[in-house]
Structure 1
Amino acid sequence: MKSVPYYTAFAAIAAGVLATTTPGGFSTRCSGLVQSFHPDQQTTVLVAEFLAKGSNFTDPISHPSCVGGFTGGSILADVCRLRLNVSTSSTSSVIIEAWMPANWQQKGRRFAMTGNGGLAGCIPFDDLNFISSLGFATAGHNNGHDGDTGVPFFNRPEVVKDFAYRALLTATKVGKKAVKQLYSQNLKKSYFLGCSSGGRQGLKAAQDFPEEYDGIIAGAAGNNWNNLMSSFSYYWKFVANGNNPPILSAEQWVEWRDEAIRQCDQIDGVRDLVIEDPRKCNLRPESRLCAPGKSWASNKCFTSAQVTFLRNLYEPFYGNNGTFLFPGFGPGDETITSLWFAPTAPQYTVDWYRYALLNDETWTVEANFDLDAVDNANRIDPYNISTYKDLSKLKASGHKLLTYHGLADGLLSYEGSDRYYESIVRRMGLPSTQLDSFYRYFPIAGMGHCATGNGAWYIGAANQYSGAPATTTETEGGVLMSMVKWVEQGIPPERITGRGFTADGKLASTKDHCKWPLQNKYLGGNPNRRSSWGCS
């Protein structure tokens, strides 16, 4: 899918007027990339334009499934925007966006690659905007197809290959070449940061091509991919009985979320609407069972079938012969969990099975999903999409991996990240004290899926800028700048600083989140202050 290069009116003005106000004719060099940047025969320049700080930007992604798009408001720094189409095979290609700031040399000559979400066909423009404002030459891509859908995978194995890993690797290599072309200098350090599917991409990079990044940040990683996709339909079909009629109403999901928090909030000794350690939370939905003659309408209670569903919601997903496949959902953000329990089967599973695994458009969860289908998905495992290998290559490279996961993630349980970390301990035969030299994991209490929540969730990470109040872009102590210190100064992070906000966007709390296997401990005093918490 190729198009001819175009120029906006603003870019034309920028090239002629702003060249005198930006370093070294930066805007002129930027627009000149159309003629000067030809790294190989597979790469076509689609756009090369200067975007001035404070100017508006129109998201070129039009696919309706790319919800949100560019929500950052305005451009945060003077940047050169480069849009590329790179052929990855005769039947596949990847669209790449590189946003390269004018102050790159002064900010450390760093490169950052962003990750994607869901089925990963939407470029993360908010992350490009925010990270480039920190001085990083930042790149993103559509992972080889447009939209948060698996339809483009149908009978196109090369597109599945791009999705699994190749688009990320291609975008990284071409993005670095673009940086060198624009600035006429080599970059000094390279980073990756992504969350959810982007977290899986980060783990894939750490496992298979860690030499590309000095530091990799992977949040709420969707690894164990095939079982993750299958788990959504397992809970929908067998735990919620097809959710038809809906097992819980929207009002009941809210009430159960609030009840879960009430039951487990004070385990840490303070009531702050945060379940500090959900591993210690033993929910009892039976406490809300309707007595004979009572109902939701009269007493806000749950039926026996609903109580059974809620209990099973948190239980693991087991396969044939009792094989563990995937953890159950975590407590604390059940209104997000409810998204998997629509009247129709979870679309991610449907798309993955139909278009990536089986090339069968007639496949349905209702008729075809069972434990044998799950086993078959794991046998196919296209291009090792499961992403569940050890970190021997990362260790040998001398590079670093930092993972994190919100402990109130109702979409993708934190337990998956716990399990991955402990699997590395076992597979590599290394205790945590030795893993610390190249791999550290930070559970984030009170954070939902990648962003937002009741706790100190803002950690300067992927997918967070659009959800944070416009008054803050604070990154000190967060995952990205902590990784920079680890890589460039040899100072490894012991804690990650998070910030929480009121409903009107004011700073409400600051907390340091502890490195696993240490856990946050309330020391007393105002729970919204960093000094009130320690690690033990």
Structure 2
Amino acid sequence: MNRASSIGSIAGAMAAALALGACGNRAEVVPSAMANRPQACAALTDISHLGAALPAHTQIRSAVFEAAADALPAHCRIDGDINARTGVDGQPYAIRFRLRLPQDWNRRFYMRGGGGINGTLVDPVDVMKQGYATIGTDSGHDNARNSRADAGATAAFGLDPQARVDFAYGAYDQVTRAGKALAQAYYGQPQRYAYFEGCSEGGREALLMSQRFPQHYDGIAAGAPTLHLPLGPMAGIHTTQLFAGLSARSGQLLPDGQPAIGRSFSDPDLLLVRNAVLKACDALDGLADGIVDNLPACTTPRVRAELRAAQCSGAKTPGCLSGDQIGTLEKAYAGATDSRGHPLYSDWPWDPGLGGQSSATEYNPGWRSWWIGSATAPTNNAIKLNFVAAIAVLYSSAPVQPFTAADALPFSLAYNFDTEVAKIYGTSPTFTQSAASMYFTDSTDLAPFKGRNGKLMVYHGGADSSISLNDTLRWYDGMNARMGGSAQDFARMYVVPGMNHCRGGPATDSFDMLAPLVQWVEEGKAPDSVTAKASTPSYFNVAARSRPLCPHPKQARYRGTGDINDAASFRCE
């Protein structure tokens, strides 16, 4: 039996019930009147006849037809594993996936990326409700099963070289192939369009598909991509050292003697910094409205002048900033370097979305949570200290350096930027691929993706303190140059002023990238702007606010008339 006939064998019994009209430019809905849906779904537990259409060592653990319930439409849910095995560390591993095939299918296939270091099964049921066949994965390790307290907790998968490869790129390719093959077997026909969407680590995975596996997806939306993992987390060690030093010098210590990093800037201190940035840069886009659209013009000298104006003339008081605070902040925004001043990652834009309160229920905790943590917490709780920084560097280094949570701060404070960074580029007999070669997703050659008429939308918040917007913009500009200045034809980049990591902050941070992406792919209508709303308009002391997100290098400009809180009053130029 050849490959084409084997894929169609399950669907053969269903084919008579499928009556498709002309395809046209839009994805049509496959009629729901298919006989024996539950039986056809259950039949997918036997995949022996699918052969090479599936990745090697694919197993279906369950295939169950679920009737419409709990706001979910009727659909076939498939749970499976790829390459179940025992790793070199003695741990059980497998690439888990969950595929949902709706009864009324729009002939679109959708995969969503993960977050952090993954390890949990992604299940985008919200998109399945729209008629998409959806799939997600844990990227090859399970946070509950593979976590080890003595090896970075959920980062312990880094002890196994294959688990690193699966997390880096292998899982997403294999799960895509498995999902498409199973969907075709079930419906009796392939999808017309395929989409991938993700933010943060999921954004890295999204870019990965356009670069390493350009044949898989027609449309890709990548948010805040960690395209230089693990250099971004390494940059978190840089800020940890800076703010820990500031806390120690100012006598801000925890009961155990550790520097109280979160107290290096009080909430009022960060508000002073935000106000300084606004005073320096808010009007550079032609409108003083609490949003800095013209981020490239918001330079360090400009901001420095306003920070110095807020500097204490004597001892530090709540109404002013110390010279040490200002100097430390400038070093942090300049980015991590080695002792010779060579940049190791990226600088950061001065965006007024920085700052925030220590309480998660108060104004904008997002920026603070990554770099310094809460000013009121009894322990150091910055994400880049307790999780991302040290652990992410360790799970991707060679040789491996297992450690416990208690080791995170001492490790970060002792980290040598002249010698330790080389481990990201190193290999060993066990780890034959370096972290850089596996995880970096910065190829500027997107010719294969463009050649198949693929479309890419990238977005990033100006006040992201996890991944630098500047790093993503440099990649995009470099890609545009490599592609002969044609990036706008197939790939567009959208800056979200004020937004923190993927969401939050004083920003119009609520938007839908999938709908305009679908329209671009299927109708050829390029998204000249994306309308975004403020999820928390009270940040601006208004009831509602919307703005157009403009394709880089264009920026939103007020038309001169109309409500400044309405996107219709702005244009991209």
Q: TM class, shorter-chain normalised?
A: 0.7 to 0.9
Partner secondary structure for residue 484 of structure 2: coil
The one-letter code matched in structure 1 to 2:313 is: A
2:133 equivalent to 1:137: yes
The equivalent residue for 2:376 is none
What's the counterpart of residue 187 of structure 1?
Answer: 191
Shift of 1:231: 0.5
Structure 2 match to 1:123: 121
Gaps of 5+ in 1: 1-20, 56-74, 461-478
Partner of 1:436: 488
Q: Does structure 2 retain, via aligned residues, the 8 Å contact 1:37–1:181? A: no
1:165-187 deviation digits (Å, cap 9, x = unpaired): 00111111111122113222211
SS at match of 1:24: coil
Q: Which residue of 1 aligns with 2:293?
A: 276
CA RMSD of aligned residues (A): 2.9
User: What is residue 314 of structure 2 aligned with on the other side?
Assistant: 292
Match for residue 449 of structure 2? Answer: 394
Which is greater in Rg?
A: 2
Identity %: 25
1:406 aligned onto 2:461: yes
Tell me how far 1:112 sits from its aligned partner. Answer: 0.9
Q: Which residue of 2 aligns with 1:301?
A: 320
Counterparts of 2:79 and 2:535, CA distance in 1: 35
Letter in 1 for 2:368: S
Q: 1:251 aligns with which of 267, 272, 275?
A: 267
- What's the counterpart of residue 475 of structure 1? none
How far the C-alpha of 1:142 sits from its partner, in A, is 0.6
Say whether 1:326 aligns with 2:322. Answer: no
1:418 maps to a residue whose letter is: L
Partner of 1:35: 45
Q: 1:195: Cα distance to partner?
A: 0.8
Instruction: Give the Cα–Cα distance (whole angstroms) in 2 for the partners of residues 145 and 250 of structure 1.
Output: 39
Residue in 1 aligned with 2:523? Answer: 489
Residues 94 and 142, structure 1, Cα contact 8 Å, conserved in 2: yes
Counterpart position of 2:549 = 513
Q: CA deviation at 1:509?
A: 2.9
Give the structure 2 partner of residue 100 of structure 1: 101
> Given the superposition, is the C-alpha separation of residues 386 and 78 from structure 1 closer, same or farther in structure 2, using an over 3 Å criterion?
same
Structure-1 residue corresponding to 2:78: 82
Q: Distance in 1 between matches of 2:501 and 2:466?
A: 6
Deviation at 1:158, TM superposition (A): 0.2
SS in 2 for 1:47: strand
Contact 1:236 1:346 in 2 (8 A): no
Task: Give the Cα–Cα distance (whole angstroms) in 1 for the partners of residues 161 and 533 of structure 2.
Answer: 42
CA contact (8 A) 2:270 2:355 kept: yes
Counterpart of 2:60 (choices 33, 42, 45) is: 45
Deviations 1:26-45 (A, max 9, x none): 76147515634455662222
* Aligned CA distance change for structure 1 residues 371 and 133 (closer, same or farther; 3 Å): farther
Aligned mates of 1:302, 1:216 — CA distance in 2: 43
2:563 counterpart (516, 519, 526): 526
Offset at 1:512?
Answer: 2.1
The reply to whether residue 205 of structure 1 matches residue 259 of structure 2 is no
CA gap of 1:438–1:28, structure 2 versus 1, over 3 A, is same
Please state how far the C-alpha of 1:201 moved relative to its aligned partner.
0.9
Q: Which deviates more from structure 2 when the two are superposed, residues 227-236 or residues 495-504?
A: 495-504
Work out the CA distance in 1 between the residues paired with 2:468 and 2:508: 18
Distance 1:28 1:83, change over 3 A: same
Distance 2:75 2:113 in 1: 20
Q: Is the 8 A contact 1:501 1:507 kept in 2?
A: no
TM-score by length of 2: 0.74
The residue number in structure 1 matching 2:21 is none
| Residue pair 1:459, 1:498 contacting (<8 A) in 2 also | yes
Residue 421 (str. 1) matches residue 436 (str. 2): no
TM-score, scaled relative to structure 1: 0.79
| Corresponding residue to 2:418 among 356, 368, 371 | 371
Summarize deviations over 1:141-162 as a string: whole Å, max 9, x none.
1111123965332430000000
| Structure 2 CA distance for aligned equivalents of residues 442 and 402 of structure 1 | 8
Q: Structure 1 353/531 Cα, relative in aligned 2: closer, same or farther at 3 Å?
A: closer
- 1:402-431 C-alpha deviation (Å, 9 max, x unpaired): 2111223233221121111112133x2512
Conserved in 1, the CA contact under 8 Å of 2:396 and 2:424?
Answer: no
CA distance in 1, matches of 2:132, 2:531: 21
Measured in 2, the distance between the counterparts of 1:404 and 1:182 equals 35
Helix, strand or coil: the match of 1:140? strand
Partners in 2 of 1:510 and 1:531 — Cα distance?
Answer: 8
* CA distance in 2: counterparts of 1:99 and 1:507, whole angstroms: 38
Instruction: Give, in angstroms, the shift of residue 326 of structure 1.
Output: 2.1
1:114 aligns with 2:112: yes
Q: CA deviation at 1:260?
A: 4.8
CA contact (8 A) 2:237 2:413 kept: no
| Residues 201/502 of structure 1: CA separation in 2 closer, same or farther (3 Å cut) | closer
Q: Provide the rounded CA distance (Å) in 2 between the counterparts of 1:173 and 1:152.
A: 27
1:346-361 matches, within 5 Å, as 346-357=386-397, 358-361=399-402
Contact 1:196 1:220 in 2 (8 A): yes
| Secondary structure of 1:151's aligned partner | helix
Cα deviation for residue 200 of structure 1 reads: 0.9
One-letter amino acid matched to 2:186:
L
Return the alpha-carbon distance in structure 2 between the equivalents of residues 123 and 490 of structure 1: 33
Give the whole-Å Cα distance in 1 for the aligned partners of 2:216 and 2:415. Answer: 40
Cα distance, 1:260–1:29 mapped onto 2, change above 3 Å = farther
Q: CA deviation at 1:204?
A: 1.4
Match of 2:275, SS?
helix
State the AA in 1 paired with 2:110. A
Compared with structure 1, are the counterparts of its residues 446 and 318 closer, same or farther at alpha carbon in structure 2 (3 Å cutoff)? same
Provide the rounded CA distance (Å) in 2 between the counterparts of 1:415 and 1:227.
14
Kindly tell me the number of residue pairs found equivalent between the two proteins.
468
